[in-house]
């Protein structure tokens, strides 16, 4: 019996007691009345429960509709073309950028010419805009001024889908969804064959540990599945990118959260992945980008220094300071 029916019963019995004492009703009437009341309270309770559920459901539905109605900030132009046969030459032409709701510019007058297949590292203090600069290439945000082009085509003139198909991103945080290891790699190219998935895992140094899991490639991961280490998750995300096989790569602090041992394994597969692709690397530890063909030092004034590790060390400027601090 719920508190509601209990309360009604107590109230009725008390009222009945008073009425019987004053001889307004007799006992048999009162018992009949009590039986009716009990039959009557159930549907009332159901009705109250239903109203409550309906209200909860309705406000949930309203929120759902609100989210569905959000228009994406960035959309294809009506005459956008497919970005095809990408070589990977990337050019920033006087690019400035500020986030919508913020007053200050994160990037100012960035000019940058990156040849197809080269390996470029971005360094600079935290909050300097390295992640922001890289997120402009897949058009996660639109440049405020200037333009970015790939193989001479302005990225605003191509379809978002084809643009993003040509860019692979490996970040510090790896997004794995509930499902099997296999499904999580397949996400990189949904129409791939099983052979292609396994090949990608091998290239990413992931095949061996996957085979060691309870069900191999069909092992469940995610919330209720097996727990993977940070390095293992990172290798799955690298396998995804191998499978996608894009000509342009962005590694944003991909190894920053790993311990030394797994960092080395992950670094090895990242280097294999980067071969013959245009690659932007952001790394916390400067020792990991020492071999980059070009290192760009990003400050609030723009790209202040640019060159190889040896050139920048010889210059004795910002980079050499940063290098000495973080070693
Ligand atoms: N989504 C965002 N909205 C508003 N400001 C942001 C957003 N993301 C980053 N910022 C700001 O932009 C600046 C550059 O950030 P970020 O590109 O992440 O730097 P870095 O990667 O070099 O550490 C920071 O001041 C940061 O607070
Ligand atoms: Mg960052």
* CATH label of the domain that carries residue 291: 3.40.50.300
pLDDT level of residue 1 (50, 70, 90 thresholds): low
Residue 36 phi/psi, 5-degree rounding, is: -60, -45
- 229 CB-near residues (< 8 Å, 6+ apart): 262
In a domain, 85, yes or no: no
- Range of the structural domain that residue 31 is part of: 3-68
- Report whether 90 contacts 153 (CB < 8 A): no
Give pLDDT tens digits for 119-132.
999 999 888 899 99
Residues 185 and 253 in one domain: yes
Ligand 1 binding pocket includes 99 (Cβ within 6 Å) = yes
DSSP state of 158: B
Measuring CA to CA, which residue among 268, 297, 284, 280 is closest to residue 172?
284
Residues 143 and 242 in one domain: yes
pLDDT level of residue 288 (50, 70, 90 thresholds): confident
Give pLDDT tens digits for 234-287.
999 999 999 999 999 999 998 888 888 888 888 888 998 999 999 999 987 888
- Report whether 273 contacts 203 (CB < 8 A): yes
Residues 134 and 46 in one domain: no
Residues 98 and 49 in one domain: no
In a domain, 73, yes or no: no
- Counting atoms of ligand 1 from 1, which one is nearest the CA of 135? 17
| Cβ < 5 A residues, ion ligand 2 | 131
In a domain, 84, yes or no: no
Ligand 1 binding pocket includes 102 (Cβ within 6 Å) = yes
- Counting atoms of ligand 1 from 1, which one is nearest the CA of 298? 22
Ligand 1 binding pocket includes 40 (Cβ within 6 Å) = no
In a domain, 82, yes or no: no
In angstroms, how far is CA 288 from the centroid of its own chain?
24
Among 17, 35, 68, give the residue marking a domain's end: 68
Residues 200 and 273 in one domain: yes
Ligand 1 binding pocket includes 106 (Cβ within 6 Å) = yes
- The Å distance, Cα 267 to ligand 1 centre, comes to 25
Q: What is residue 264's predicted lDDT score, i.e. its pLDDT?
A: 86
Residues 55 and 110 in one domain: no
Residues 28 and 144 in one domain: no
Residues 42 and 147 in one domain: no
Residues 226 and 287 in one domain: yes
Residues 44 and 185 in one domain: no
Q: How many domains does the chain have?
A: 2
Residues 46 and 97 in one domain: no
CA-closest residue to ligand 1 atom 1: 99
Q: What is residue 260's predicted lDDT score, i.e. its pLDDT?
A: 81
Give pLDDT tens digits for 10-22.
887 888 888 888 8
The 3-state secondary structure of 263-274, one letter per residue: HHHHHHHHHHHH
Ligand 1 binding pocket includes 168 (Cβ within 6 Å) = no
Ligand 1 binding pocket includes 244 (Cβ within 6 Å) = no
């Amino acid at each position: 019996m719920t508190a509601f029916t209990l309360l009604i019963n107590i109230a009725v019995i008390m009222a009945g007691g008073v009425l019987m004492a004053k001889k307004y009703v007799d006992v048999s009437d009162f018992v009949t009345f009590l039986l009716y009341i009990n039959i009557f309270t159930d549907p009332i309770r159901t009705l109250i429960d239903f109203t409550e559920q309906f209200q909860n459901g309705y406000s949930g539905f309203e929120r759902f509709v609100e989210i569905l109605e959000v228009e994406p900030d960035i959309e294809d132009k009506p005459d956008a073309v497919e970005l095809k046969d990408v070589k990977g030459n990337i050019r920033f032409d006087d690019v400035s950028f500020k986030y919508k709701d913020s007053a200050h510019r994160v990037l100012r007058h960035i000019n940058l010419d990156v040849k197809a297949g080269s390996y470029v590292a971005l360094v600079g203090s935290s909050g300097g805009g390295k992640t922001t600069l890289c997120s402009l290439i897949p058009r996660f945000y639109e440049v405020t001024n200037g333009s970015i082009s790939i193989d001479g085509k302005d990225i605003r003139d191509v379809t978002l889908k084809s643009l993003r198909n040509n860019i692979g991103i490996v970040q510090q945080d790896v997004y794995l969804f509930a499902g099997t290891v296999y499904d999580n790699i397949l996400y990189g190219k949904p129409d791939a064959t099983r052979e292609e998935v396994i090949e990608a895992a091998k290239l990413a140094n992931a095949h061996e540990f996957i085979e060691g899991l309870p069900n191999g490639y069909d092992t469940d991961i995610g919330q209720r599945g097996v727990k993977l280490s940070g390095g293992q998750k990172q290798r799955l995300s690298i396998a995804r990118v191998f499978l996608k096989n894009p000509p342009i790569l962005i590694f944003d602090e991909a190894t920053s959260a790993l311990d030394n041992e797994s960092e080395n394994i992950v670094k090895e597969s990242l280097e294999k992945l980067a071969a013959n692709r245009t690659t932007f690397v952001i790394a916390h530890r400067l020792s990991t980008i020492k071999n980059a063909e070009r290192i760009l030092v990003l400050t609030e004034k723009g790209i202040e220094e640019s060159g190889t590790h040896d050139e920048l060390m010889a210059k004795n400027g910002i980079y050499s300071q940063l290098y000495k601090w973080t070693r």
